[in-house]
């Protein structure tokens, strides 16, 4: 996985250089999908590589190109290059996301080299929104990135990146000017670069790659934590409120950094022999949690605070994550508020209350770059 912090840092260029090196060593390697973006230096790096034909899909009267995953499976190379992992496929492609196509190739025993920017990591979605004011719609689940055999951080200083942008190396001049006025503000790029560097450093720490000669392959800090008996266990309380998505992302990040087990738990009343309407909304959030490889549970009961604390104690949970309500309720004043009750009843468990940040302007969407 070649990881960057913005378009133009050189992820695809570096990936193709590695492909050329592997080809010279005699590896059976093909390019499953390549997005040139009109960048001459990058296009030149494809010379001599076997390029798989793309699949044409007509959508709303426009012919669009997508990776032909079936053709790659038939060709069955040892290694396949797939550009822009976070890309959303055109409807009718068979799979919704390009990373799902990559998973199909991996399951077939084909090694894959791909790339993406840090803002497309699912668990960082809210943090990136706070930095940029842009809600990134194309995301990749953390577990897929963590499954990579190797992560390469492709870095460039913000000054160098802005210079490339102004010279027209990344985008055409009119597009470059809009980028400078929006996503490519220097302060935004500095924050994203720091985020990418920190994430890469964390992966190095978790994988224990600083000295691989001292411990067997595959042993990470998470397994060492189990041996020492110090593993944390995090419970995310999932309600029908939309803020649960933010809480799930936060819990996933915490679990990764603490090498902790993680549960997403919803509580649904059971009345008149059927679940209440809130169950559908809660199940939507739990499905999102499962996509991030978080273990989920639905508990049935009339008192959410009692059910959550009981589950936490029976599963040796060390931390409970809750969302703070947007508005102060009568329950807070009367002492019956859910958060207050959980804090009172779970005195031996750390309770973390997460507030949803609100921006003053409407979020916009940004596609993969």
How does pLDDT run across 30-74, given as a tens digit for each residue?
999 999 988 999 999 999 999 999 999 999 999 999 999 999 999
**30-44, 154-168, 275-289: segment of lowest average pLDDT:** 275-289
349 in a domain, yes or no? yes
- pLDDT reading at 166 higher than 80: yes
Query: Does 246 share its domain with 101?
Result: no
Query: Does 193 share its domain with 240?
Result: no
- Among 163, 179, 212, identify where a domain stops: 212
Query: Does 204 share its domain with 315?
Result: no
The partner residues of 354 in beta bridges, in order of sequence, read: 323
Query: Does 187 share its domain with 268?
Result: no
- pLDDT reading at 365 higher than 50: no
Compute the CA torsion angle 82, 88, 89, 95 (nearest 10 deg): 90
Query: Does 60 share its domain with 206?
Result: yes
The CATH number that applies at residue 10 is 3.40.50.300
- Among 180, 212, 244, identify where a domain stops: 212
Query: Does 154 share its domain with 61?
Result: yes
CA distance 38 to 77: 27
Query: Does 176 share its domain with 98?
Result: yes
Structural domain of 301: 226-354
Three-state secondary-structure class, residue 69: helix
Query: Does 241 share its domain with 200?
Result: no
362 in a domain, yes or no? no
Query: Does 157 share its domain with 275?
Result: no
Q: Over the stretch 198-234, which tens digit does the pLDDT of each residue have?
A: 888 888 777 774 443 333 333 333 333 334 445 799 9
The string of DSSP codes covering 346-368 is TTTSEEEEEPPP--SS--EEE--
Query: Does 183 share its domain with 271?
Result: no
- Give the chain's end-to-end CA distance (angstroms, integer): 15
The CATH number that applies at residue 300 is 3.40.50.620
For residues 172 and 38, is the Cβ–Cβ distance under 8 A? yes
Query: Which H, E and C letters describe 259-310, residue by residue?
Result: CCEEEEEEEECEECCEECCHHHHHHHHHHHHHHCCCEEEEEECCCHHHHHHH
Domain count, the chain: 2
219 in a domain, yes or no? no
Of 279 and 88, the one with more pLDDT: 88
367 in a domain, yes or no? no
Q: Over the stretch 234-269, which tens digit does the pLDDT of each residue have?
A: 999 999 998 899 999 999 999 988 889 999 999 988
Query: Does 202 share its domain with 234?
Result: no
pLDDT of residue 279: 82
- Among 212, 246, 275, identify where a domain stops: 212
363 in a domain, yes or no? no
pLDDT of residue 368: 44
pTM, two decimals, is 0.75
CA distance 220 to 206: 6
Query: Does 115 share its domain with 171?
Result: yes
**What is the pLDDT of the chain when averaged over all its residues?**
85
368 in a domain, yes or no? no
């Amino acid at each position: 996985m070649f990881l960057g912090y913005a378009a133009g840092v050189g992820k695809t260029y570096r990936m193709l250089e590695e492909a050329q090196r592997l080809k010279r060593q005699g590896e059976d390697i093909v390019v499953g999908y390549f997005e040139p973006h009109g960048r001459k230096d990058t296009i030149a790096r494809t010379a001599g590589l076997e390029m798989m034909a793309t699949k044409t899909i007509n959508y709303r009267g426009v012919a669009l190109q997508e990776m032909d995953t079936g053709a790659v499976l038939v060709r069955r190379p040892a290694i396949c290059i797939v550009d822009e992992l976070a890309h959303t496929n055109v409807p009718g492609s068979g799979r919704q996301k390009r990373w799902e196509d990559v998973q199909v190739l991996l399951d077939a025993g084909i090694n894959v080299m791909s790339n993406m920017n840090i803002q497309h990591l699912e668990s960082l979605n809210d943090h990136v929104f706070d930095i940029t004011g842009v809600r990134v719609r194309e995301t990749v689940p953390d577990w897929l990135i963590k499954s990579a055999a190797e992560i390469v951080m492709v870095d460039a200083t913000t000054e160098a990146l802005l210079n490339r942008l102004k010279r027209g190396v990344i985008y055409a001049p009119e597009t470059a000017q809009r980028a400078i006025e929006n996503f490519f503000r220097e302060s935004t790029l500095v924050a994203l670069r720091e985020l990418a560097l920190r994430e890469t450093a964390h992966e190095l720490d978790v994988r224990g790659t600083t000295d691989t000669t001292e411990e067997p392959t595959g042993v990470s800090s998470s397994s060492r934590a189990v041996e020492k008996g110090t593993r944390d266990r995090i419970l995310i309380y999932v309600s029908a409120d939309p803020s649960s998505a933010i809480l799930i992302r936060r819990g996933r990040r915490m679990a990764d950094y603490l090498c902790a087990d993680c549960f997403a738990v919803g509580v649904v009343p059971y009345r008149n022999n059927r679940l209440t309407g809130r169950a559908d909304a809660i199940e939507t959030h739990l499905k999102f949690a499962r996509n991030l490889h978080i273990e989920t549970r639905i508990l049935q009961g009339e008192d959410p605070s009692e059910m959550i604390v009981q589950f936490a104690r029976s599963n040796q949970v060390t931390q409970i994550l809750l969302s703070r309500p947007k508005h102060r309720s009568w329950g807070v004043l009367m002492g019956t508020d859910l958060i207050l009750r959980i804090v009172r009843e779970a005195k031996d468990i750390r309770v973390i209350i997460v507030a949803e940040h609100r921006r003053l302007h409407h979020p916009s969407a940004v596609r993969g770059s």
